[in-house]
Structure 1
Amino acid sequence: MVKSKLTLYLIFLVAVFSNGYAQVKRIQVFQKDAEIIPQINIAATVVDTTLPQPKLRPEPEYTWGLENTVNWNCDSIKTVVAGANAKVVLFEVEALYNNIERWGYVDSWKSSATFDDLPGGVRISYRLRYLADKGNDEYAFSKWSPVEVSIQDVSAPFITRFEIKHLQKSGGINWIIGREIDIQITCSDTALGKVKDIIFKEESEEVNAETKYTVENPVSVVDTTIRYSVYTSDHKQLKLILWVEDLAGQPSLRDTIEIFWWPFEGEEKDVLCFPNPFNPELNERSIIKCNVANATEARIYDLFGNLVRILSKTPDDYFFEWDGRNGQGDVVSNGGYVCVIKNALNKYCKIAVIR
Structure 2
Amino acid sequence: MEAIIKLENAVIRQQKNTILKDVSLEIAEGEFVYLIGKVGSGKTSLLKTLYAELPLAYGKGEVVGYPLSKIKKSQIAYLRRKCGIVFQDFKLLTDRNVYANLEFVLKATGWKDKKAIKERINEVLEKVELPDKRDKFPHQLSGGEQQRIVLARALLNAPPIILADEPTGNIDPETSYRLVELLKDICDSGKTVVIATHQYDLIERFPGRVFRCENGIVREDFSFAEKQAAKNKVINDGLKSEFVDVGSPAIAEPVEEPLETFEEIVSTDTETGNTIIEVTTSEIQIEEPVNEEMATIETTILVEEENLIAEELPCEKEPEEEDKPEDEKSKKKDDDGPDIVGFELI
TM-score after normalising by structure 2: 0.20
Comparing both structures, which one devotes a greater share of its residues to strand? Answer: 1
Comparing both structures, which one devotes a greater share of its residues to helix? Answer: 2
Which one has the largest radius of gyration? 2
Give the number of the structure with larger relative contact order, counting CA–CA contacts within 8 Å between residues 6 or more apart: 2
